[in-house]
Structures are given as structure tokens and as C-alpha cells.
Structure 1
Amino acid sequence: MTQQFDPISLEIYWSRLISVSDESAAALLRTAFSTVVRESNDFTTVLMDADCNCLSENTAGIPSFVGMLPSAVRSFLEHIPREEWRPGDCIITNDPEIGSGHLPDITMAAPIFYKGKLVGFSGSIAHLPDIGGAGWAGDCRELFEEGLRLMPVKFIDGGRENAFVTQLIRHNVRAPDQVIGDIYAQVSAQRVCAAGVQQFLDDTGMDDLVALSAELRGRAESAMRKAIADLPDGSWTASVTADGFDADETQIQCCLTINGSDIEIDFGGTSPQINRGINSVLKYTTAYANYPIKCALDPESPRNEGSFQSITVKAPHGSILNPVFPAPVAARQLTGHLLTGAIYGCLAQIVPDLVVAESGSAPTLRAVFGGKTRDGQSFNQVLFASGGLGASSRMDGYACTAFPSNTGAGSIEVLESVSPLLVRHKELAQDSGGVGTHRGGLGQDIILDVLSDAPINISLLSDRHKYPPEGLMGGGAGSKSVVALADGTRLHPKSRSVLSPGAQLHFHYPGGGGFGPPGERDPAAIKRDIAYGYVSQAAAKRDYGATE
């Protein structure tokens, strides 16, 4: 007989499971070694049932990761049969097709046993500070150049470390203590999650999560289906053009079809894969197609596996959104983050009030620095910062806000303490937001000095140098990306370079696109923008006709 849950109890149970995921995330965050996790939030934790269905995720997790962990654990079970999983096990991989789309991310799962029965899995994904090879770089020509690749293997076997795997990782990365430390932080997260679930089952008197999982996933699916059913049936198309790599510009073509309570997102016509690392594996493509739909149509209910049952994502095999192995994929976010713009370009034609214009943080602009400090220690650090959020029909975009990713900026003081880098200047970029009834969020300018006594390496992963974030419904485009030396020399936006001691870099993170005709902007908002320095007097006169 199917177990019934009253609405109040169900809400309490759901909130409790989200709390378990949050506690797991707190353990990972507080025990991590690298600034990528501790300062920039590049991780997530997920609780799954015994059939690998997602039940809950941590509140502030990376949105794409929750869509990847369940299928990753199902792949784990293909490599390591269910009967070989034991209490204390932790299985890991960083294979792009199984995990989260590129090698720097470690995907981990552990079984949760209760009264001798397998009742669920705890999972996590975290971005490592280094993975060997070329590291986090966009200019490799095949996957094998991009770093160490681990197929699913037990990192912890029955509570004991797999020494061979640990040594394999240590001897193939540039920052072994940080890398192994972060992996063990994930181990801690799995154990905290398991303990939370066991306590939950004790407190509720349940023997497993089967009935609760079905109910929670059913509620999530119903909420999304209702939101989709409220939209008109039909098909709409939109496209986004990206810088690509050198002469190989790329384009994302999107056809969004609504049929009752189902949505199909078809990326047919998208550019073929290229021999540089901006390809996005289908799993990553699917995750970043699902997420903007959830944000626009059903933003209030918690996410789980049921949230995405009504969404189908298609991408041509051999395209930049579904490449053929061993395509390079290290900088897959430079393509995957652009999907929101294409999808919202379709939805804007029917529900413009539910979407935002393109963001200056989509895709993210990342700079990876590596080399030696003045005392001879190796370092490998990422500068995390964001451009402006696109505007909506209701309000201006937020300044310097990540979307569709939600990585944090991290502490500049921490970055400076662990690397020979000095952030000399960091401020909002005037006039960077797209004009409109509602203005795009401002980007930012950062000036950074290299203080090392020897040259250091930099790997840039960026876009929007040619094509800025576009506005919606008559709104203007945001600014374009800039990465340049003090003399004006621009670095290659997706390649590795060497910086001399004393070099100075200027980063401009773009503003978001505007929303609506600029002629309809509130004059009081224009005056406020001028007073606060968000918009210059000259730009206000040019774009809005402001006279004072």
C-alpha cells in the first residue's frame, strides 16, 4: 500500500532533507583547502534515493551540478555493481561524459545504509584547483591534453583510503596538498549527509526513502507541468552568436516547442564541434537548458529530479553542444552558459515578463594564474568575478552578479595572501549596462599587478569580446569584455600566456543587456544613475535624451 503524506508533514520532511544537503555542503566548505571551494562556492551537494533520483540539493549549489549527479551515480553503478558498494565507500570520477562536463571537477558519491539496507546515495561535485595536464585552459585540441582523467573508482574503500588512487592524483597535479585536501572535504560531506539521513529515518520511523522520494518528485513534476501548461502551445526560435575560437565563431540555434505540459528544446543547426576546449558535453548542455526553464516558469518550488521530467533537450551529435569523444571540453562553460540567452530569446516572444536579458556574467570570465611565489612555493589560483545581470520587465539588472552560474567572487585579500598578485583597482564600470526601460546590471573593472620575481602563467577563459550581451524587447546591449596589459596589448581570450614580473592587467567584466525601450525609462531613475555614477552625463544625454 502506498504511503500517504499530509501536506504539512511533507513540507517538514522536504525542508529537513534540504537541511541535510546544506549541512553536507557546510562540511565541504569548512574543510576545503582551496579558495575555489572555500571562497568561490564552486561546488554542490545532493541527496539521492536508492534509485539515484535527486531528492534535495544544497541551497547555494551550482545549478548545473544537480542535473548531473543522479546520472553520474547511475553510471557509477555500471562500473561498480550495486552489490560491491559497502558502508564507508566513496567513489569518484572526473570523466566529462559521466561527471560534470570537464576534468577539473571531481564527482563523488557514497552509499547510505540504514539497518543494513541501501537507502540512498550522497553526492557532491567540486572544482579542484588543478588537475594536471594543461589545467583549466581553453586552447587544447583534445581531451587527453587537458589533464588527468579518472574513470569511476573507489577513493575510499570500506572506510580505508585507496592509496594507489591517492598517489596517482598526487603525482599528476601541481598543487597536490590542496587537491587531496579538497577531495577529502568531499569525503567529509558524504559522511555528514549519510549521518543526517540516518538520523532523519530514526526520527520519522521510516525504513527507507522510497515512498517519500516518489511523493516529493511527483510534487516537483506537477508544479513544473502546471507552469508549462499555462503557456500557449507552439514553437519559437532564437539564436546566440559567440566569439568562438579565433576565426571559428560559434552559433547556438534554439527551437523551443510547447505541447501541453511538455517542453522540447532542440538545438538543431548549432555549430559543429571545434578542436578547442569550448565544446559542451550533452549532460552539461541539458543541465544548463533545464535550469533557465526552472528559473523562469517555476522559481518557487524546491528542485529535484521531478522538476525536469517534462523537459526534453536535443542537440546534434558532433555539435558544440554534444561533441564526439575525445573533444576538448575544459572551457565548456563558455558555450553552456550561453544557452540561457537562446532559451530566454524564445520565451520572451510569449512570456517576456518571466525572463531576463543576457548577462555579462554569461559566460563567466575566468583567469587562472600559476607559478611560484617569492618564497618558492607553487600556487594555482583563479580570479573569480562577475559581470552584470541582465535587466527584466520589472527592474534593473543587479551589478556584478553571476547567472546562470552562481559562483561567488571570493575574497581579494585571500587571493593576495596565497599568490603574488595585487588587486590595485576594483570598481563598478560606468556605462557598462545596456540601456532600456530597465538598465542592465553594471559590470566591473579590475586592475591586477604581478608581484612575483619570476614569470607566471595565465590561462584565460572568456568570451563577449566581439559580441556583447544582448538586450530584450528593445533594450540595448551591455559592454564587451576586455583583458589587456597596461600598454593596451590584448591577451588571447581563450589561451595560455606568460606574464612578466611587474606586469599589470586590466579586466573589464561586461554589463548585462537592457530590457524595454530606453525612451520609457523613468526620468527619476536616470537622474539617480547619474548621481550614483552608474551612467555618465554624456551617455545619459546620448541614450535617454537627459538634459541634466
Structure 2
Amino acid sequence: MRTAWNRLVALVNEQAASLQRTAFSNVVREAGDLSAGIFDQKGRMVAQAVTGTPGHINTMAQAVADMLLDFPAETLLEGDVLLTNNPWAVSGHRHDITVVTPVFSDGAPVAYFASTCHAADIGGRGLTTEGRDVYEEGLGLPWVKFHKAGEPDPAIEAILRENVRLPEVVLGDLRAQITGGEVATRRLHTLDLDVNALADEILGRSEAAVRAAIAEVPDGSYAHEVWLDGFEEPLPIRCTVTVAGDEITCDFAGTADAQARGINVVLNYTAAYAIYAVTCAVAADIPHNAGSFRPIHVTAPEGCLLNAQPPQPVAARHIIGHFATPAVMGALGQAVPLPAEGATGLWGVNIQGTERPWAQTFFLSGGMGAGPEWDGLDATAFPSGVQAVPVEVIEATTPVRILEKSLIEGSGGPGRHTGGRGQRVRLTVDEPAHVSVMAERTRQGAPGRDGGEPGQPGRVVLAGEAQPAKAAFGVRPGAELELELPGGGGYGQR
């Protein structure tokens, strides 16, 4: 069984590596904003690649089963490739596209490879908090056959070309996703692996291991709240974690209502980061798959910030959804030792040319919280796994110049162990541009734990003037945008 498992993991890692090496966009090729996985005949995720983020892989876990409702297995043909960017079906906003490749044997699908990637552009307003509804946030694609029996659908390609600012890049990334699926399919056919024969055993063992780990946590209900910047006033995320035997329920009742701008989060994205928090806290060494998710339940009231309903805007859902993790870990931390909160939400910056079509999205990380036996990591993404795009790549591919990228001394919260430092990034543009900044923890820093002190809050400054944390504005050539990311909370009294 171990040999078979290692082969499956190697297989999906090869899928992800092939995708990333052939991708066109910086956000996929350099930042690794992608996920990949293999699914059995029933659409259950059996194994995932090591790259990616919980918001991709844990939402993609539901994608194939969802696809099979619209396209039952008997309607599929060898060579079909399907895709969607429906926020409520997959990863929470239209800027992520999920691609599914069925694997055939004896004329019928026996497994599926899937991947989710951040699209360089999807039209509309771009990646911003400014959309008033999901229709403003770009092109929406339901589950459709992008390739039919091995041939691309020219109508879908034409629709994409007509609606996005960077058609060659967007289509190039989609072809990279298809390439990853093709490479993995060929490799699976050369291996002596029956995915469906293995699935029940792998999922059953994973479920049993997670249940055993949960059973070690004292029964009870544990509550925690996290306060976010919001817009005009702060917004709470409230979470009650109930441990009952070998199951855990994370209930987000009491969380703020959904907002009129695009920071809302769909429930599957909330669940992705809540499940990730539980597994980090009590089952970090157990594989993530459909089996390991079964003992963990996530609920949130319809219409709240963490369970948005169509057509509420969701483009910048990451800036809020990542905070489901500290909400859950803050509650569970009352039962098991866990670190202080960190900057948490990836800061997103989307820059678009106003005189010619170009666009660049990159993400930045603040400091992680300190733990019971360690200082927090500096400028490190958690709970996301997205990496920074290298400065040299940004400058070589866009008219953006990075003037400074440095750690902010003293930004980590003091304590027996010090929170991780945030980073300072100063940039400018050589052409007129429209910039959207999506930032959090600028009103208050990340709180410490067990007597540790808060980290330093973040700051957004344009041409010497402070800006709102979530805003879009024009930037003239030579004007300087400064981003100061928050530090992590400290742990324990000094």
C-alpha cells in the first residue's frame, strides 16, 4: 500500500510540475498559485500534489463530483477536457479556472485528473474589491467541454479571447493545465495502479487516522473571534469549534453579514481554510483527501461574510477567507497548544495598464505568529502556500519597478517568542496604470497569545499619502506606492 501511495503522490506532483513548467503567467509559473489532484471514478479526491493552497486543493476536492452532476460519466468521450470558473462550484472567485481531464480505459472513465490555477485575467474590473456583484468581476464559465474528443472548442476559445485582457497568457495557462493532465494520464497508464481499487483503502485509512487524532482533543465547545478592517467599520469573524468524540464542527454563526463590495467568501472556500486549520492543529501528518475531510464539518449562516450567495461580489475573497484559519485555530488553541495569529491574509496587488493591455497580479506575505517553542517566520505566507513572484521577473515582464523589498524591523509582536516580521515593498510604474490593493490588518495588528504582544499593523501609502487598505486608484509614472505588511503576534510573556 505504501508503494502504491507513493506512486500516486509522485504522479500528481509530476502533473503539477508539468503544468507549472509550461505555464505562461507569472502568478502560476513563478508564484505556484495552482493545485493538482487525482480523483476516483466517483469523483472523490484520492491524492493531491504538494504545491498549491488550501483554497485551491480543498475546494477542488468537491469539483469532480460537482462536474459529474452536469456531465455524467456516460456522456464523456476520450479526449474530453472540461472546465469552469464558477465561484460556488470551485474556488470562490472567477479568477480561478478548474480543468478536469477524464482518464479512460476500455471505453469508460476510470479516474480523473484536475487542476486549479489563478487566471492572469478574466475580464471585468480585474482582481479588485470594487465589484458590486459577481457579474462585474469578469467572464463566468459554467462546466463546459473545452476539448471535445481531443479537439478544442473554437467557440469557447473565441469567447475567452474576446473577454480577457491577456488572451495568449490565459489560453497558454489553460493549455498548460491540459498538458499536466495529459502527462499524468500517460504516466498512470504505464503504472500498475488501479485507482478505484486503492481509493476505498486510502480514503478509509485517512479518515480513521483523522478521527483518531480528533479523539485526542478534549470534548467541548471553544469560541474565538477575529476582527477584520472591513471598509467603514471593522467586521467580526466568529467561530465556535465543537469537538464531540472523533468529529469536529466549525460553526461561523455570528460572523458579519456579506458586504456590498467584493470581499465576500463562498462556503466551500470557507470550509477549505477551516478544514486546513483543523488538520494543521491536530492531524498535520495525515494526507489530505476526501477521506480525511469526512470527520470535519463546516457551517455558516447563508448571506454572511463567509457564506455569500449569488450574485454577491467575491473577487477578493482570499483577503477574508484566509481568516477562517485563525478563527478555528484560535478556538482550538484553547484545547491544544497552537501559535499566535500572524498577518494571515495575503496582500494582493493587481496592476493594469491604462494605455495598452497589460496586467500583473502578485501577492505579498506578512509575518507569521510565534509559537510555544519558536519565533514566527518572517514574510511567510500562512495559511496560503503562494510564493512571491521574483522582483526580476516582475520587472522583466511588466513596466513595474520594485524600488525596495525589505523586512520591517520591530514589526513582529514581542513575547517570549517574537512574531515574524512583515515586509516593506516600494514600487513604481513606467506607464500610467490602474492599481487595486487588497490588504488586511491595517487597523489592528495580529494579536499575541498567552501574554505575547500584537504585531505591528500594515499600511498602504501612495505618493506620501495614506490610502485605504482595500481600494483601487490610478498611479502615474514615477509615483511611488509603498506597502508595509503586518507582523505576526508574539507568544508568551517576556
The normalised TM-score by structure 1 is: 0.88
Aligned to 2:16: 25
TM-score (norm 2): 0.98
State the superposition RMSD in angstroms.
Answer: 1.2
Confirm or deny that 1:112 pairs with 2:103: yes
Report the number of matched residues.
494
The residue that corresponds to 1:315 in the other structure is 300
Q: Structure 2 CA distance, aligned partners of 1:80 and 1:234?
A: 42
Residues 378-421 of structure 1 show CA distances to partners (whole Å, capped at 9, x for unaligned) of 32112322111111101001111100001001211010011111
Shift of 1:491: 2.5
Dislocated runs of 4+, deviation >4 Å: none
Contact kept? 1:37, 1:127, Cα under 8 Å: yes
1:6-45 per-position Cα deviation (integer Å, ceiling 9, x unaligned): xxxx111111101110000011101100001011110000
- The counterpart of 2:269, out of the listed 264, 284, 297, is 284
Does structure 2 retain, via aligned residues, the 8 Å contact 1:449–1:505? yes
Provide the rounded CA distance (Å) in 1 between the counterparts of 2:196 and 2:45.
12
In 2, Cα distance between equivalents of 1:265 and 1:301 = 19
Report the counterpart of residue 219 of structure 1 in structure 2.
205
Correspondence for 1:358: 341
Q: 1:44 and 1:435 mapped to 2: Cα distance?
A: 36
Q: 1:508 aligns with which of 471, 477, 484?
A: 484
Distance in 2, Cα, partners of 1:74 & 1:303: 17
2:283 aligns to what? 298
Q: CA deviation at 1:377?
A: 5.3
Structure whose CA Rg is larger: 1
Work out the CA distance in 2 between the residues paired with 1:109 and 1:225: 30
Residue 244 of structure 1 aligns to a residue in which SS?
coil
Deviation at 1:131, TM superposition (A): 0.4
Question: Given residue 359 of structure 1, which amino acid in structure 2 is its aligned partner?
Answer: G
Q: Is the 8 A contact 1:428 1:444 kept in 2?
A: yes
* More moved, 177-186 vs 443-452: 443-452
Among residues 348, 351, 367, which one is paired with 2:333 in the alignment?
348
Q: Within 5 A, what are the aligned runs for 1:382-421?
A: 382-421=361-400
Would the aligned equivalents of 2:442 and 2:486 in 1 still touch at CA under 8 Å?
no
Q: Is contact 1:469–1:477 with CA below 8 Å preserved after alignment?
A: yes
**Is 2:231 the counterpart of 1:245?**
yes
The percent of aligned pairs where both chains have the same amino acid is: 39
Residue 50 of structure 2 is matched in structure 1 by 59
Structure 2: how far apart are the matches of 1:408 and 1:179? 20
Rounded Cα–Cα distance in structure 2 between residues aligned with 1:261 and 1:40: 37
Within a 5 Å distance, the mapping from 1:55-454 to structure 2 comes to: 55-200=46-191, 203-204=192-193, 208-247=194-233, 249-352=234-337, 355-360=338-343, 362-371=344-353, 378-452=357-431
1:463 is aligned, of 440, 446, 456, to 440
CA contact (8 A) 1:491 1:497 kept: no
2:12, 2:48 within 8 Å by CA — same for their partners in 1?
A: yes
What displacement does 1:210 show? 2.1
**Shift of residue 472 of structure 1?**
1.1
The residue type equivalent to 1:470 in the other structure is P
Q: 1:25 to 1:83 in 2, by over 3 A?
A: same
Amino acid in structure 2 at the alignment position of 1:346: A
Q: Which amino acid aligns with 2:358?
A: F
Return the offset for 1:115: 3.3
Q: Find the aligned partners of 2:134 and 2:232 in 1 and give their Cα distance.
A: 19
| 1:64 Cα deviation after fit | 2.4
Q: Deviations over 1:107-141 (max 9, x none)?
A: 11111112333211100000011000011111211
Q: Hey, what does 2:449 align to over in structure 1?
A: 472
Specify the code of the residue in structure 1 equivalent to 2:416: T
Q: Is the 8 A contact 2:263 2:317 kept in 1?
A: yes
Offset, 1:246: 2.5
| CA distance in structure 1 between the aligned counterparts of 2:61 and 2:287, rounded to whole angstroms | 16
On the 8 A contact 1:64/1:291 being kept in 2, the answer is: no
Residues 480 and 510 in structure 1, CA contact (< 8 A), matched pair in contact too: yes
One-letter amino acid of the structure 2 residue matched with residue 245 of structure 1: F
Letter of the aligned partner of 1:371 in structure 2? G
Q: Is the 8 A contact 2:129 2:315 kept in 1?
A: yes
Counterpart CA distance in 1 for 2:231 and 2:65 is 34
Structure 1 range deviating more: 73-82 or 84-93: 73-82
Residue-by-residue CA offset, 1:259-281 (whole Å, 9 max, x unaligned): 00000111111111111111110
Matched residue type, 2:486 = P
- Quote the residue 1:544 is aligned against: none
Counterpart pick for 2:32 among 33, 41, 46: 41
DSSP-derived class of the 1:302 partner:
coil
Q: Which amino acid aligns with 1:319?
A: C
Q: Which residue of 2 aligns with 1:541?
A: none
Tell me whether 53-62 or 398-407 shows the greater mean CA deviation.
53-62
The CA distance in 1 between the partners of 2:54 and 2:71, in whole Å, is 27
SS of structure 1 residue aligned to 2:229: strand
Alpha-carbon distance in 2 for matches of 1:158, 1:351? 52
Contact 2:44 2:65 (C-alpha < 8 Å) held by counterparts: no
2:473 alignment partner in structure 1: 497
Kindly state the Cα deviation for residue 476 of structure 1 after the two structures are TM-superposed. Answer: 1.1
Q: CA deviation at 1:467?
A: 2.2
* Cα drift, residue 448 of structure 1: 0.9
Residues 391 and 440, structure 1, Cα contact 8 Å, conserved in 2: yes
Unmatched 5+ residue regions in structure 1?
1-9, 520-548
- Stretches of structure 2 that go unaligned for 5 or more consecutive residues are none
What is the Cα deviation at residue 148 of structure 1?
A: 0.5
Task: State the Cα deviation string for residues 44-102 of structure 1 (Å, max 9, x = none).
Answer: 00100011111111112212222212322222122222211111111111010012100
Secondary structure at 2:255's aligned position in 1? coil
Alpha-carbon distance between aligned partners in 2 of 1:305 and 1:439, rounded to the nearest angstrom: 36
